[in-house]
Chains A and B, each alone.
Chain A
Amino acid sequence: MRVLVIGAGPAGARCAVRLAERMPGAEVTLAGAEAALPYDRVALSKLLAGDATIEDLITHPLPMLQSLGIRYRPATPIAALDRAAGEAVTARGERLPYDRLVLATGSTAIRLPFPGADLPGVVLYRDMDDVRAMLRAARSGGRAVVIGGGLLGLEAAVGLAHRGMTVTVVHAVGWPMERQLDPAAGALLTRRLGTRGIRFAMPASTTAIEGEDRARAVLLADGTRIPAELVVMAVGIRPNIALARESGLPTGRAITVDDAMRTADPAVFAIGECAEHAGRCIGLVAPALEQAEVAARAIAGEAAAWAPRADAAALKVSGTAVWSAGEIAPEDAESITLRDEAEERYRRLLLRDGRLIGAVLYGDTADAGFYLDLITTRRSVVGFRSALALGPAFVREAA
């Protein structure tokens, strides 16, 4: 059996490895658009901050892929699919035949369409090339504006500040990382990053990037002008689904898949950020890896089904651990908050009908597993509600 995996990001690489392990006779090809060996995209921030080298980021060295019999095709962007023929067509026109196809094309960072967005000095923050561009710009110090105060934007801001730049984060919401943090935790994080010299403009929206030959300043809707030699755009991602859509596969926001990660075409699977399961897309690496496992098992002929778990995001921002899981902004939930102003410890737990449905931990995430378990199992917390936020050491459940 010939299996082609398009996309050598974490999900694609994991799927290729599992396929090779499960089906010793199969011919597994892994085609990546980037020139590099498969690397840990999540760790790009370490590269930016100088905490890791490029070599440290490589997850699948060539000998390892070879020993598994995987054919690795770097710098091989795929231009089209010919599903009728069971072939993928590379940008150079090469046709790669398959019996089973796994789409792991990931997503692209969004470049907002305001004036000046294409000027030199405006970079995205998605891949190794973006990081190299940022490191070049930071070499001479100066001022940077990061548009977008999500996780990636903050990582970029911290890295650039660490590299000596004066950084301002422009964010559309009143506090950073609003998808993972509530306003209070966001405020703690803002204060903490402030001590590192990072300034915030929020809520604020960018209307243009000024400059003629290259970016010189960021202009905000309220008229503020922030001079900058480097502008990093970290405002979100868009699933890469053109390949699938143009081949006639059903798509929504991303490629529609069933529980086995199979698309409408039984020979074609989609995993990771480019897949849409039950109307939802994922954006984190852990579920993407699970989907890779499921797809590999399904292709190997085993029964396999992916069930979305509570989303849990464990992050580290500028040395501060942040973790969130489940629903973090439901309107109909009750919330319990724990705050330690001096130790920068914060917890927010969300409850509905006596059950934990979401949690945000800031500063101390040691009890994340406890809360994830409660969210996942939907166990009643009524009996120990008063101690819930204090962690498992204080919860004495009635036997």
Chain B
Amino acid sequence: MIIIDSKLCKGCDICIATCPKNVYSKSDKVNTKNVYLPFPEHEEGCTKCGLCELSCPDQAIYVEKEVE
């Protein structure tokens, strides 16, 4: 499960460029700062590598990993 914190996201789209599986795309929803938020469109393709979590400059992405 991928959660994007709409309060922190500034809409730079680096998550869209970084994801090796092209999970993210731009939505037409805006947050309180009129930023177009990304959303995980193809979440079934996510391999939970955590690259978007690491690359996000605003610490806005959380990827839930399976806990054993």
Do A and B pair up? The answer is no
